[in-house]
Amino acid sequence: MQRHLLLVGGGHAHVEVLRQFAAKPLPGWRLTLLTREAMSPYSGMLPGVIAGLYREEQALIDVRALAARAGAEAVIDRATGIDLVAKRVHRAGGESRPFDLLSLDTGATPDTARVPGAAQHALPLKPIDALLPRLRATLDAAPARIGVVGAGAAGVEVALALRARLPASSVTLVAGVAGVLAGFPDKARARVAAALAARHVEIHQGEDVAEVVAEGLVFPRGAPLALDAVLWATGAAAPAWLAETGLERDRAGFLRIDERLRCIGRTDIFAAGDCTSFDPQPLPKAGVYAVRQGPVLAGNLRAAAEGRALRPYRPQEDWLVLLSLGDRRAIGTRNGIVMGGRAAWWLKDWIDRRFMARYQGP
Ligand SMILES: Cc1cc2nc3c(=O)[nH]c(=O)nc-3n(C[C@H](O)[C@H](O)[C@H](O)COP(=O)(O)OP(=O)(O)OC[C@H]3O[C@@H](n4cnc5c(N)ncnc54)[C@H](O)[C@@H]3O)c2cc1C
């Protein structure tokens, strides 16, 4: 009898799983991808899309086509729950799907719940697939005053991309108490601060946003900041539907996984990427981890299907961070070394295009 391997979410780890199953099928198993959108955005190129350096389709992976190459059925729908006893995944628009083996790579959601008004008045960067159509409208309207709340890597890149795309608009990066690029090496922070100043991106810091209103941002003590558009680039939150699954979660609601990428207490359910919390050590919510988990996940799903031993995922200790400055320049940092300029952009562009080519081609 055929057994079912069900992949939920077309995230960065699952595209690699599909690629590997396309190269080497899994006999005796029926493969299904259940994902919200047929086109999965690659976040590394999103700032380049905003800046106008890439067309939108260059930053999108056609997961339906990728699934077809892997011999998988693609179901374009939203998972809403899991029945752990019947071993079925519920979805919004149709009949639930069975699984013998299940893997979840559904990403995170924006952290808008903590600040009143953010969900109503701000445009969250995550999920990116929901962002793109709304972003198009914002860029076309070319608002005079734009604010980007959250000054981690994504917020910095998006602020600089907006600056490049909308030269007549004022762009303010709202960095809060943490400041710009908290946790990055001082040398990289100084270099990025200089790049922001040179491009006339205003910085607002020292206070976190208390409320988002139709007219802009309100702070606990300081003067409000009048804005015509607000982008929300603060940390990631766990998708609400995971709470209903009965799977083990951490305090923030992310799925707890072991070093072999299995959900805690399960041998038949795996998970990867931003929707997870890696039990052996805390990991940042960053695409590089989902990408590196991809090959281990693919191997472990195959091993689990064939009853073989699984291998552990060992997170990289440091990685090259390349921040796009929006104008074909970038700043890169790894192991405390900082590089910048056109060469850094060239490297970023080359890495991103190479990544996309793995999943876009026949
Ligand atoms: C502007 C920006 C720039 C960034 N740049 C970088 C960078 O340069 N480097 C880096 O490491 N990280 C970067 N990140 C972070 C990165 O985007 C995430 O860490 C990464 O996307 C996580 O990958 P994932 O596979 O967990 O999930 P995602 O890439 O979020 O994919 C989730 C998938 O699941 C699908 N899905 C979601 N919910 C459901 C559901 N209920 N049912 C079915 N399908 C569902 C979605 O449609 C999507 O296909 C950036 C983020 C942003 C916003």
Give residue-wise pLDDT tens across range 61-107.
999 999 999 999 999 999 999 999 999 999 999 999 999 999 999 99
8 Å CB contact between 188 and 181: yes
Q: How confident is the model at residue 124 (pLDDT cuts 50, 70, 90)?
A: very high
The pLDDT value recorded for residue 362 is 63
Give me the mean pLDDT over the 275-288 stretch.
94
8 Å CB contact between 5 and 101: yes
Q: From 167, 127, 177, select the one nearest 146 (Cα to Cα).
A: 167
Mean pLDDT of the chain: 95
Mutate to test the pocket of ligand 1, among 112, 274, 288 (most ligand atoms within 8 A of CB): 274
CA distance 349 to 362: 21
The pLDDT value recorded for residue 107 is 94
**Distance from residue 291's CA to the centre of ligand 1 (Å):** 10
For 80, list phi and psi in degrees, rounded to 5. Answer: -120, -15
Inter-CA distances, 237 with 8, 46, 339, Å: 18, 20, 32
At a CB cut-off of 8 Å and minimum separation 6, what does 89 contact? 6, 8, 34, 79, 81, 82, 83, 96, 97, 99, 102
Atom of ligand 1 nearest to the CA of 50: 1
The pLDDT value recorded for residue 263 is 98
**Distance from residue 108's CA to the centre of ligand 1 (Å):** 7
Task: Inform me whether the pLDDT recorded for 37 exceeds 70.
Answer: yes
Atom of ligand 1 nearest to the CA of 128: 53
Q: How confident is the model at residue 1 (pLDDT cuts 50, 70, 90)?
A: confident
Fold of 112-231: FAD/NAD(P)-binding domain (3.50.50)
Give residue-wise pLDDT tens across range 332-361.
999 888 998 999 999 999 999 999 999 986
Question: Which residue, judged by its Cα, is nearest atom 25 of ligand 1?
Answer: 11
CA distance 209 to 177: 9
Give residue-wise pLDDT tens across range 288-321.
999 999 999 999 999 999 999 999 999 988 888 9
Superfamily in which the 3-108+238-306 domain is placed by CATH = FAD/NAD(P)-binding domain (3.50.50.60)
Q: Per the omega criterion (within 30 degrees of 0), is the bond before 295 cis?
A: no
Question: Which residue, judged by its Cα, is nearest atom 53 of ligand 1?
Answer: 125
Q: Where in the chain is the domain with CATH 3.50.50.60?
A: 3-108+238-306, 112-231
The pLDDT value recorded for residue 354 is 96
Task: Inform me whether the pLDDT recorded for 129 exceeds 80.
Answer: no
**Distance from residue 239's CA to the centre of ligand 1 (Å):** 12
Q: How confident is the model at residue 5 (pLDDT cuts 50, 70, 90)?
A: very high
Task: Inform me whether the pLDDT recorded for 42 exceeds 80.
Answer: yes
Would you tell me how many other CB atoms lie within 10 Å of the CB of residue 211? 15
Atom of ligand 1 nearest to the CA of 40: 49
Mutate to test the pocket of ligand 1, among 6, 43, 89, 96 (most ligand atoms within 8 A of CB): 43
